A and B are shown apart, each in its own frame.
Chain A
Amino acid sequence: MHSHAILSLSMRITAILLCVGFLQVSAHTRAQSTISLSEKNISLDKLFDRIQQQTDFSIWYDRAVLANTHPVTVDWKEVTIDQALQSCLRGQSLQYEIVGNSIVIKQKVDSNNNSNNKSGTIDVRGRVVDEQGEPVVGASITVKDSRTVALTGADGTFVIHAIDENATIIFSGANVEMHEEKLIRRTECNVTLKKRINKLDEIQIIAYGTTTRRFNTGSVTGIKAEEIEKQPVSNPLAAMEGRMPGVYVQQGTGMPGGAYNIIIRGQNSLRNSALDNGNLPFYIIDGVPYTSSSLTSTTISNSNLRFGNPLSNINPADIESIEVLKDADATAIYGSRGANGVVLVTTKKGKAGKTKMDLNVSAGASTVERKLHLLQTSDYLAMRREAFTNDNVQPQPWNYDVNGTWDTTRNTDWQKTLIGGTANIFDVQGTVSGGTARTQFLFGGTYHRETTVFPGNFSYQKGSTHFNINHVSEDQRFRLFFNGSYLLAYNNLFSVDATGSILSLPPDAPKIYDSTGKLNWENSTWRNPFALFEKKYKNNSDNLLLNSLIAYEVVKGLDAKINLGYTNTNVRETSTNPLSSVNPAYWQFVKASAVFANSYIKSWIVEPQLEYKKDLEHARLNVLAGMTFQQNVQEGQTQNATGYSNDLLLENIQAAQQVSVLAYNYTKYRYNALFARINYQWKEKYIINLTGRRDGSSRFGPGKQFANFGAVGTAWIFSQEKFMQPVSPLISFGKLRASYGVTGNDQIQDYGYLETYSPTQYPYNSYPGLIPSRIANPLYSWETTKKMELALELGWLKDRIFFSAAGYHNRSSNQLVGYPLATVTGFSSLQYNLPAELQNDGLEFELNTVNVRNKNFSWTTNINLTIPHNKLIAYPHLESSAYANVYAIGQPLSIQKLYHYLRVDPTSGLYTFQDVDKDGAISYPNDLQFLKRTGQIYFGGFRNTFKYENLQLDIFFQFVKQNANSYFYTIGLPGSMYNQPVDILRRWQKQGDQSNVQKLTQDYSSPAYETFSQMQNSDYVITDASFIRLKNVSISYWLSNDVLRKAKLQGVRFYVQGQNLWTITHYQGLDPENQGTDYLPPLRTIVGGIQITF
């Protein structure tokens, strides 16, 4: 045997020597001692190569010992060499030894045969899965107070030998939260771990797929359910305010169900009015396009809801995430619809695991946060009398406020009376979700009710249900996802926002109700503002969204998919003008009337796609190709009904004497496209992403329907480079990315290229009437936006500090505008491709830091900042065009051309302005030479999240630097029968007075009225509307596990949330966000609630 032993030894030595020749023994001297590696079915020799590349270890082995081994799948994130080797050698009948920087792999010598026999020790087996039921690969299992370690394999299973039967084992891993389990003599231990995903590796939803922040080549920002749920809002857009760089969201009115504006990376289209807006983003909900424009009737919803917003019909609580795609790389695949950015809404899905029931109930209140300082009666009357004196006339019989007709001792605070109330909010949500590894489901329902701050019984109610199911076949090749949601909303309001009455009512106006409790008309001397509340506005809408994705893996790596979607939104509105809203003195001349509007939009989409994924040796390839077929049909009519005999029957159109159709509209839009994307990743360092789309839209005339769009996106993860290794502990992630591409904009009215006649509202001489609808232009085509972006993303200290900076530069040309025509042509505009070019550029910064993270306490901070800028680059013959006095080359689009206010002339008491053309008069347009930029100069948000044990506190500030029109832009003539802000107390009164408020007048033909009008067209009205707003505070408290176990609950959370709590601003007006004085400002809301999970 001795000789045999010698032979054996010599053979071993030979083998080792031979190995020296065969093995690539690297002499790396890297400091890195942990390994991050993700490989599927890799052979051990290749895996060892990878380990050697990443570490300074050399691995020695005899090729023969690998003969009977099988390939392994690993997913390591910063595991130690021990953990790595344990994991890949488990079940391989191999063992290893580490000596210095060398590792020797050898056949396993079974030495633990009697481990189980040791007294009090056991072998423990088990499986570790995540919340989705997916195995957690590479998780480490350590035994408390010992050095025993095991790792989970590709299927999540583990074995750990000979440990104390009462030991506590600790599960941990790169992407999961730490978990402790006490064994108490158990030999099987299956656990489910919560995922803790590195921000970089979180799934990021993009067009037609997903990626991660690490590998994304495009510019995408988003918020998750967790952030949406902290905000007591009823429109998802509200939850986005201030939280996304490059995205400016503005609440148009505080009315429930009202308007929101959203602008992504600036204004790309010159069409920017409420009814013809070319700057709306493209919304996609679970893969299905959703209308960007509101369906409410333009005849009745402007003066209260400002036309509303279509996303009001999406329940924020159903949303898992909202992603906003910004640059060409992310949006070009949407072709002609992507120029203004894309908002992807993804709804919540069921997760595998125990069936979970979740109930969330909250209630709260809203009020108007800020108040205008207006004149009291004494000052008001003094103002009026002074105006009459200045005009050298006596109050006339109809000047009821000053001539003694009204009780001049009255003093009503109309702000308090009209908008000083408290709105109540109640919200309840319930969901049931769960499923197995292959089939998951979710079913949820919500009811939301809020009232208003106006006096009276007005409310907004929404009820919705949401369900989905996800199934994967046993062989994992067939996948089906089906999702549906249905929402019913009932908005019971009144037809004109009474906020506008605050400034138009004198403080000594008569009392609201007479002694019998009826509306007081004070002998027909005033318009009682409470009459507005008699005019009801009811809006019933419902919204059905259905979509499904069916996918089949045809051959390995090739998926054939089809995305099907259907949406149906109906809006039914009623607006009434009852006799009760009219002064009885006029009852014999007016008739009660009502307007009925019904409209719907139905759309379907079919998108067959092929996706091919291939992992190459050092690279990863993903190719997607598909087609889109989409149709939207929109139809609506508005009917006017008059001559009701009784107010109570107003909502019954049959009770009307006469019914006429005010408007009927019908549009059919069809869209067809072919798209493709190729994504190639090399060594996880270099990524290139090519997208292209050929688009056809029915909005354009024959020959102009099709166009091509495309983009290229690249990324370089330079932190993977060798030269970054020395600083890798400090800079853990670094990526540079750049993209360039072309997108389009087809947001114009349908049929604009067709020359048509439309029916008139009323027949004449027994003939129906027809009139030309428009001046048609069959030649117009897309607006195109060329987008360029360069961005840097950096992670420091294991990504605890994450910073990104992006610069973008977009140019929009071929501007499709309703080009204003001289009305000599018969029309005031023409749809036309203007040879103008706009540029939007800007810088966006985001900084996320984990300031403190330990067992009991964590504190994270997010800051984002956007500095947008746009300007008009080119506009041939601007000076002779219709926009001569609107835009200026080289200037932002948001400029206003104004007169330049000088002072109030101490002699005449009138505003004076700079007479640029020196013609002795302030004349239009020659003296309109002062450019003032309005709109946002920079904006952003600042969020801090504190977690202490079971308590979480979120504080979010929104900040905006901007200029806007002050209330001087909209106030009535000071001295006339309008109330005024207290600023006018500083008015000029007598010769020699130095003031910046001119003398009072009540005469619309006086020179003072003319200078007042000029003032409203001057830089006098431009004011700083910057603000810092404590947008959101949210406090949550979770009951501890001990309590929950006793109560047999999975989770209980108590919370208090506040929105728009406090604003710092110098703005002269009600609110710096929605501005002006005609619409209710965003409300301050505080709610409290409880969430229980069973």
Chain B
Amino acid sequence: MKHQTYIFFLFIFCLCSCKKFVDVGAPKNQIASAQVYTDDRTATSAITGIYSQMISSGGFVSGSQLSIGFLMGLSADELKDYSNGPDLAPFYTNAVIPTNAPLKNNLWQEGYKYIYDANSALDGLNQSASVTDATRSQLMGEAKFIRAFCHFYLVNLFGDVPLVLTTDYQANNIAPRTSKATVYDQIITDLQDAKKLLAHDYAFAGGERTRPNKYAAQALLARAYLYRQDWVNSEKEADSVIANGDQYTLSDDLNTVFLANSLEAIWQLQPVLPSLNTNEGQIFILSTAPTSAALSDNLLNAFEPGDNRRKNWIDSIIVLSVTYFYPFKYKVQSGTPVAEYSMVLRVAEQYLIRAEARAQQNNLDGAKADINMIRHRANLPDVAGNDLPTMLEQIQHERQVELFTELGHRWFDLARTASLDSVMTVVSATKGSSWSAYRNIFPVPQTEIQNDINLHQNPGY
């Protein structure tokens, strides 16, 4: 009996001594942040994870119906809304309110999530001693590119926005708005850094144009300068991309522009969702009456007769004797194999950027040459007009018909050239809504104003 007692107490004593019992370490489905940046492959995964999210999220730049391309297409004069639902309809009628769900989830929140991911990668890469220099340089370049890319869209959608350069949530949670100019300064700084850090070719991505290289940084830089009206630098950067002719050329066949790794592509997002090509193909191509959107008459009417883009990039379907037109840049609606990638940056835009930058510097001939590159491919004659206003108008028009339903170009072009008011006043009438000037930028999501004490709503909302 005595020894049983002893055994019992010994047992208890043994258990007491397990002080470490409640230390369970990291779970097997996650990896401690410090472990991510210890080798090249895992570190690269932290960057490709961002692209994977970008293309599969359904929002921001995914090409889906909650992405910038689609929502800005509705907001401007490219798409007609057939969803008639509370999420999308307000974009179409230019009546978005601060509690709109896609506004918060897909435009604002998603952009800042990628910025956090990029900042986290920059922190990790800066502290890591074991990632090789070449990989570190490429990955840091990509992280800075992503940060600039997201800030670019945020600042154009919302005006002054918080500029986020750290992962410090305490600071970011009370971040005030940063002036548009300062945000642009940082975008340019980040892209200049990226330009130095990134590789020239696509070998690092196995030859796929699915991750940004140096020219992607320059292409975005050219656009950023253009938006800031820094014509000299804009021309310079676009020049540099276009000059790289063995990597980037305009495809002669319009039907091949959006193919995976097409020669026109500077940066594409690779579809990752199972049994799906691009989200654009999935949502735009109609096989029945539209349930989300179809092309507007405004856009259809903008094409000059004989424009091959009208013929090749637009298709239609007749349902109950109503004809619906839809964007047909992407030819594959769904299924495997994946033939098309979602285009983010392509060289045609660089010609248009350079044309505008040249025109603004009164190099009208140079501008014409660039525009004609685009027009000739569409089987259109040389551009007319010899004065700057006409030329700028031509460039704007060419951008409209070349870049339609791609990442909201039309909306941002109208906004940056201060033509939104005049165009939208007319367009609103056809939409059965009314236009107010303050709607050139979107309201800050309601919950953000609630949670970040230093954020205030845009005027008018």
Contact = CB atoms under 8 A, between A and B. Distances in A.
Interface of A: 393, 397-398, 524, 552, 554-555, 560, 585-586, 588-589, 591, 606, 608, 627, 629, 640, 642-643, 657-658, 660, 664-672, 674, 696-698, 702, 705, 750-751, 754-773, 775-776, 820-828, 830, 880, 882, 884-885, 924-925, 1004-1005, 1009-1010, 1013
A822 B116 contact: no
B56 A773 contact: no
Closest 3 CB pairs of A and B: A826-B116, A769-B49, A822-B452
A73 B265 CA distance: 97
A707 B78 CA distance: 62
Nearest to A560: B8
A614 B46 CA distance: 64
A659 to B, nearest CB: 8
A1005 B90 contact: yes
Interface stretch (B234-242, B270-278, B350-358): B270-278
Given A658-B275, A765-B206, A698 B24 contact: yes
Contact of A761 (B29, B52, B448): B52
Contact of A775 (B11, B28, B169, B320): B169
26 contacts: A393-B432, A560-B4, A608-B12, A627-B16, A657-B275, A668-B27, A696-B22, A758-B29, A765-B48, A765-B51, A765-B210, A765-B270, A769-B51, A770-B31, A772-B120, A822-B175, A823-B112, A824-B164, A824-B448, A824-B452, A825-B116, A882-B450, A925-B450, A1004-B89, A1004-B90, A1009-B86
A767 B89 contact: no
B272 A826 contact: no
A884 B450 contact: yes
The interface centre, meaning the residue of A765, A821, A1013 with most chain B CB atoms within 10 A of its CB, is A765
B401 to A, nearest CB: 28
Given A667-B27, A769-B45, A821-B451, A608 B169 contact: no
Given A765-B210, A825-B173, A820 B447 contact: yes
Contacts of B117: 771-772, 826
Contact size class for B?
A: 35 or more
Given A705-B22, A761-B56, A770 B15 contact: no
The interface centre, meaning the residue of B45, B116, B164, B208 with most chain A CB atoms within 10 A of its CB, is B45
B308 interface: no
B171 to A, nearest CB: 9
B53 A589 contact: no
B157 interface: no
Contact of A821 (B32, B104, B173): B173
Contacts of A757: 30-31, 33, 36, 46, 49
A948 B55 CA distance: 73
Contacts of A823: 104, 108-109, 112-113, 445, 447-448, 451
Contact of B169 (A766, A821, A925): A821
Contacts of B108: 823
Given A763-B48, A775-B167, A823-B104, 20 more contacts: A586-B287, A589-B287, A671-B22, A698-B24, A754-B32, A760-B56, A761-B52, A764-B51, A764-B55, A764-B270, A767-B41, A821-B169, A821-B451, A822-B173, A822-B451, A823-B108, A826-B113, A827-B116, A827-B169, A882-B450
A398 B24 contact: no
B451 to A, nearest CB: 4
Nearest to B272: A762
B41 to A, nearest CB: 7
B258 to A, nearest CB: 18
A529 to B, nearest CB: 18
A666 B26 CA distance: 10
Contacts of B256: none
Interface string B143-184: 000000000000000000010100101001111000000000
Given A608-B11, A767-B48, A830-B169, A665 B29 contact: yes
A825 B169 contact: yes
Contact of B12 (A627, A666, A697): A627
B203 interface: no
B386 interface: no
Contacts of A824: 112, 162, 164, 172-173, 175, 448, 452, 455
B36 A764 contact: no
B129 to A, nearest CB: 19
Nearest to A1004: B89
Contacts of A393: 432
A187 B45 CA distance: 91
Interface string B206-229: 101011000000000000000000
A177 B30 CA distance: 63
Nearest to B161: A824
Contacts of A524: 288-289
Nearest to A751: B27
A773 B36 CA distance: 12
Contact of A668 (B24, B52, B208): B24
B422 interface: no
Contacts of A672: 18, 21-22
B28 A554 contact: no
B415 interface: no
Nearest to A820: B451
Interface stretch (B91-99, B309-317, B369-377, B387-395): B91-99
Nearest to A637: B29
A756 B32 contact: yes
B232 interface: no
A666 B49 contact: no
B29 A666 contact: yes
A591 B24 contact: no
B376 to A, nearest CB: 34
Nearest to A750: B27
Nearest to B90: A1005
A768 B45 CA distance: 6
Contacts of B172: 822, 824-826
A660 B274 contact: yes
A586 B15 CA distance: 63
B322 interface: yes
Nearest to B321: A397
Contacts of A880: 453
Given A629-B15, A823-B112, A398 B82 contact: yes
B292 interface: no
B286 to A, nearest CB: 10
A1005 B433 contact: yes
The interface centre, meaning the residue of B84, B210, B273 with most chain A CB atoms within 10 A of its CB, is B84
Contact of A670 (B24, B50, B56, B89): B24
B334 interface: yes
Nearest to A658: B274
A880 B55 CA distance: 36
Contacts of A552: 4
A379 B47 CA distance: 58
Interface string B271-302: 01111000000000001110000000000000
A665 B28 CA distance: 8
A763 B450 CA distance: 36
A1015 to B, nearest CB: 14
A554 B1 CA distance: 7
A335 B333 CA distance: 58
Contact of A771 (B50, B84, B92, B272): B50
Contacts of A658: 274-275, 336
A668 B30 CA distance: 12
Contacts of B34: 755
B15 A771 contact: no
B23 interface: yes
A770 B95 contact: no
B40 to A, nearest CB: 10
The interface centre, meaning the residue of A696, A764, A884 with most chain B CB atoms within 10 A of its CB, is A764
A671 B33 CA distance: 25
A1069 B447 CA distance: 29
Nearest to B29: A666
A1082 to B, nearest CB: 31
Contacts of A821: 169, 173, 451
